[in-house]
């Protein structure tokens, strides 16, 4: 059974799409110390022996999220899958280990979690890494673990500033969010055509007007 976890500091109000799509079918992993690296490693230890989906607390879930994500995982059950990464890039499927970036919505098979924990046990200095993404990138690079990058995005990054890590000076929202594509009737294969991309970006900006004014 694949379990869903949300990594959080418990300070942020979860988007309403979490309750809409998951109900109570998730568990919080709380970083009380604001030490995102340590909290992430402790999260891996907690879920050892499980196939796990890690969400961060600053995402919007797409409609029909559980059915969509479980269907993708069913066909790639032994692979690491990143469902939100490099938000403005259009299309790629396999990321090399040193390309791992973003951890908003990632599926970690239990066998890969075991490999990660074994590496961490042998390299305690990894706790000095400044973010979970750097922990992952280091492990995946040294162990040559590839990740599948799934498009279109099944989550959207709210990008209101990070409580779990340092703020970043660039947008972390994606026009390739599946809800936008479906609302506009655009197939993902045509999403990078200039007119379609402009429509997606315009819709994304419209959707975020209320959030940005909060």
Per-residue model confidence (pLDDT) at position 101: 82
CATH number for 2-156: choose from 3.40.50.300, 3.90.550.40, 1.20.1290.10, 3.40.50.2300: 3.90.550.40
Q: Under a CB-based contact definition with an 8 Å cutoff, are residues 180 and 200 in contact?
A: yes
Question: How high does pLDDT run on average in the chain?
Answer: 90
Q: Under a CB-based contact definition with an 8 Å cutoff, are residues 83 and 155 in contact?
A: yes
Which residues 6+ apart lie within 8 Å of 173 measured at CB? 87, 156, 157, 158, 159, 204, 208
User: What sections of 64-143 are H helices per DSSP?
Assistant: 65-74, 110-122, 132-143
pLDDT at 88 over 60: yes
pLDDT at 95 over 70: no
Q: Which tokens go with 181? A: 């594509």
Strand order in the sheet with 80-82: 27-30, 2-8, 51-56, 105-108, 80-82, 147-149, 94-95
Pairing of strands 59-61, 94-95: unpaired
Q: Does the predicted model carry a pTM greater than 0.85?
A: yes
pLDDT at 159 over 60: yes
pLDDT at 94 over 70: no
What's the chain's length in residues? 214
Would you kindly state where each structural domain of the chain is located, as residue ranges? 2-156
pLDDT category, 114, cuts 50, 70, 90?
Answer: very high
- Mean pLDDT, range 27-46, rounded to an integer: 97
Distance CA 214, CA 209 (A): 9
Distance CA 157, CA 211 (A): 12
- Mean pLDDT, range 136-156, rounded to an integer: 93
């Amino acid at each position: 059974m694949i379990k869903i976890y949300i990594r959080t500091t418990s300070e942020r109000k979860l988007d309403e799409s979490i309750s809409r799509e998951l109900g109570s079918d998730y568990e919080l992993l709380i970083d009380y110390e604001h030490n995102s690296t340590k909290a992430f490693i402790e999260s891996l230890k907690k879920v050892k022996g499980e196939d796990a989906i890690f969400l961060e607390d600053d995402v919007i879930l797409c409609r029909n999220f559980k059915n969509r994500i479980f269907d993708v995982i069913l066909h790639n059950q032994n692979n690491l899958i990143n469902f939100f990464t490099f938000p403005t890039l259009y299309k790629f499927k396999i990321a090399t280990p040193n390309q791992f970036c973003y951890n908003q919505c990632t599926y970690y098979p239990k066998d890969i979690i075991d490999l990660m924990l074994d590496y961490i046990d042998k390299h305690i200095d990894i706790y000095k890494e400044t973010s979970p993404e750097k922990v992952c990138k280091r492990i995946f690079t040294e162990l040559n673990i590839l990740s599948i990058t799934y498009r279109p995005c099944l989550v959207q990054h709210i990008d209101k500033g990070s409580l779990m890590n340092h703020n970043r000076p660039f947008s972390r929202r994606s026009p390739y969010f599946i809800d936008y594509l479906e609302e506009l009737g655009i197939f993902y294969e045509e999403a990078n055509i200039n007119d379609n991309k402009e429509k997606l970006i315009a819709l994304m900006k419209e959707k975020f007007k209320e959030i940005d004014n909060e």
